[in-house]
Amino acid sequence: MIRHAQAVDETLELKDPARPLTVLGRDQARGLGERLRWHDCEPTHVLTSPLVRAVQTAELVTAALGSPLAVDVEPALAPAASARAVVAALAALPPDSRVLLFGHEPGLSDVAALLVGDPDVPALAKAEAVRISAGRVRWRFAWDAEAPVPAR
């Protein structure tokens, strides 16, 4: 599960859904993808929010991973969508799926809370990843972290 990288600010001319990544945001996404290569990140599916900044983050992370997978838009990952709808979309995938989810806060931490059964999952920072496996947080780290933060 990955929160999108840094994006440009919304303006009157540039509405929230169309906000692209900044130069730093592109570097964050590439850096996160490179770090994930060393953390057993071999996805079978890549799902993203339809917003531009999330799609761009997903594309850059997936490319840095060296993954040939297509990035698929999942409307349930959009801001203010239902976390339960995301969990239902995950449940519809084959049981051995390894999924990268790209989205926004507070939606991602709401999804994580449902997956681990703990309502107090801390929010993800921009360009931060968390690995959830078998109902447990295994690790989480930011694009520029020294080492993964161990699960509690």
DSSP notation for 43-94: -SEEEE-SSHHHHHHHHHHHHHHT--PPPEE-GGGSTT--HHHHHHHHHTS-
The domain in which residue 68 lies consists of 2-8+16-150
User: What is the predicted pLDDT for the residue at 24?
Assistant: 97
pTM for this entry: 0.93
Q: pLDDT truncated to tens, each residue of the chain (152 aa)?
A: 999 999 999 999 999 999 999 999 999 999 999 999 888 789 999 999 999 999 999 999 999 999 999 999 999 999 989 999 999 999 999 999 999 999 999 999 999 999 999 999 999 999 999 999 999 999 999 998 764 445 54
| Domain count for the chain | 1
CATH classification of the domain holding 33: 3.40.50.1240
Residue 63 near residue 10, CB atoms below 8 Å = no
